[in-house]
Amino acid sequence: MSLYLGIDGGGTGCRAAIADAAGRVLGRGQGGPANINSDPFGAVTSVLAAATAAMAQAGASPADLTAVLGLAGGGMQDAARAMQARLPFARSLVVNDAVTAARGALGADDGILVAVGTGSVLAVQRGGHLRQIGGRGFLMGDEGSGAVLGRTLLARAMRAGDGLVPDTPLLSALRDEFGGFEGIIAFGTSAAPARFAELAPRLVASDDPAARAILDQAVAQIGDAVRVLQDGDRLPVVCTGGLGPFYAAALAADWPVVPARGTGVDGALDMARAWAP
């Protein structure tokens, strides 16, 4: 029996679905964070947990499955090859999560994807060709992402404590909550990107001046990236991920923002069915 496995994995969690040749979904599963660049072995555990849950529902075995996995860090060729070698499925293809997200969100149509959750990545699809920008991880990029927003917020709280920027109620409360500078530094030394991203909803929900300043900068960065990808056009923009609704509202004044057609899992399943021999 030929079945198809699609997995969408990011810095917060991963989702899996198994479908038959007609596209009927037979099973679903979820797992933990799945960034194959920053935590390859943790990603394997998360992916297999999600896939196992889906296989249990579908009554499938790994040998039945043609799998496409869109994973954070999947654009790194060495990391993708290493991940593929660890997978038990009949056929496996690992790509960056922006690829499967764009396939799910845009289908075959031209458009721009803004995918922002724990991390961030953007892509433009024109004439069936996909160009990705960003998605370089918490340390080297991921502008506007939840993780970078959280890190920026904590850094600003310390700068305000030093008197280098204006203090605000939010920044003062964070220093108290974390136990001062030492507590913030200790958190930052060991916290994964997903832990930083847990602070992002507090920014989005706040009218604090510091929150507004951080979010304004993030919107400007994402807006600049969209402008580069538009290259003089007015392609539809789809915003996905946990922070997708926030950026959709922020970008709607400048660009035609439209809902996603489907999810990253939908895109991965579509790719798996197209890739099957």
- Per-residue pLDDT tens for 55-75? 999 999 999 999 999 998 887
The order of strands in the sheet holding 3-9 is 25-31, 14-19, 3-9, 65-71, 91-96
Matching CATH topology for 3-105+262-275 and 109-259? yes
pLDDT at 1 over 70: no
What is the C-alpha to C-alpha distance for residues 134 and 151, in angstroms, rounded to an integer? 18
Q: pTM of the prediction?
A: 0.80
pLDDT tens sequence across 192-225: 888 999 999 999 989 999 999 999 999 999 999 9
φ and ψ at 25, to 5 degrees?
Answer: -75, 125
H-type alpha helices, 89-144: 97-106
Report pLDDT for 231.
93
- The helix-helix angle for 146-161 and 209-230 (nearest 10°) equals 140
- What is the average per-residue pLDDT within 122-145? 86
Residue 10 pLDDT: 80
Locate the domains of the chain by residue range.
3-105+262-275, 109-259
Q: Residue 74: its pLDDT value, please? A: 83
- Reference 194, options 150, 155, 153, 157; nearest CA is 150
Residue 275 confidence class, pLDDT cut points 50, 70, 90: confident
pLDDT one-digit tens code per residue, 66-116: 999 999 888 788 888 999 899 999 999 999 888 898 899 998 899 999 999
Residue whose entry in the numeric block shows the structure tokens 């960065």: 221
Candidates 3.40.720.10, 3.40.190.10, 3.30.1360.200, 3.30.420.40; CATH matching 109-259 = 3.30.420.40
Query: Does residue 276 surpass a pLDDT of 80?
Result: no
Rounded to whole angstroms, what are the CA distances from 266 to 97, 185, 235?
A: 12, 40, 22
Q: What is the pLDDT of residues 147-203, one digit of tens each?
A: 999 999 999 999 999 999 999 999 999 999 999 999 999 999 999 888 999 999 999
CATH class for the region spanning 3-105+262-275: alpha beta
- Residue 181's pLDDT is 95
Burial readout 95-133 (b: 16 or more C-beta within 10 A, e: otherwise): bbbbbbbbbbbbeeeebbbbbbbbbbbbbbbeeeebebe
pLDDT of residue 128: 83
pLDDT attached to residue 38: 79
